[in-house]
A and B are shown apart, each in its own frame.
Chain A
């Protein structure tokens, strides 16, 4: 089954304790992206990756890091989490073939992070 998986699904942590949220897709997609969803703000892009070893900042990259060492994986790293990073996080992937940007993004199930 074609899917995007994220782990963990729920995480409660304390300020300053480094954490990683994993994201993996099995569709051989070149493009992957991370979003955070906050009430009243919709989804905002954190980072995206066009392919292996190619990453770039989205709209809200502060406090986050990413890496893309393999095509299928795109982990999100919070080196020193703070309470304002409490949010619902979604990973997404899509193909880049065909008309630029017209491909559907497939979303993972989400990771609900609470930083106390």
Chain B
């Protein structure tokens, strides 16, 4: 069974700082990878996803993530955060076979101070 680890539980940044959130997964087969964001009081929304092709994926709001297969990682990055990026970020993975189960990490709570 697959699992997802997000090592940063809480991150505090000032506006304009660069962001990198770590995500590692464990699964031996082919996977699809996702980053979802949950703004305060709202439901989850997709930021970006990777399923094949270029391992550097660009998403909405200036976010990007890089899939490094050898490291089982899918870290999320943004060069310059804004106060409006304050949210909880979830990495998720499903297996290409047995994709019915989307497994989430425990989330990283990001606070951006103005």
**Contact residues of A with B, CB < 8 Å?**
31, 33, 35, 40-45, 48, 50, 56, 58-59, 90, 92, 99-102, 104-105, 107-110
**Which of the residues A33, A101, A107 comes within 8 Å of B43, measured between beta carbons?**
A107
Which A residues touch B70, using CB under 8 A? none
Q: How many A-B contacts are there with CB distance less than 8 Å?
A: 64
**Contact residues of B with A, CB < 8 Å?**
6, 9, 32, 34, 36, 42-46, 49, 51-52, 90, 92, 94-97, 99-107
Which B residues touch A33, using CB under 8 A? 100, 102
**Which of the residues A35, A41, A48, A107 comes within 8 Å of B45, measured between beta carbons?**
A107
Which B residues touch A44, using CB under 8 A? 104
Which B residues touch A40, using CB under 8 A? 9, 106
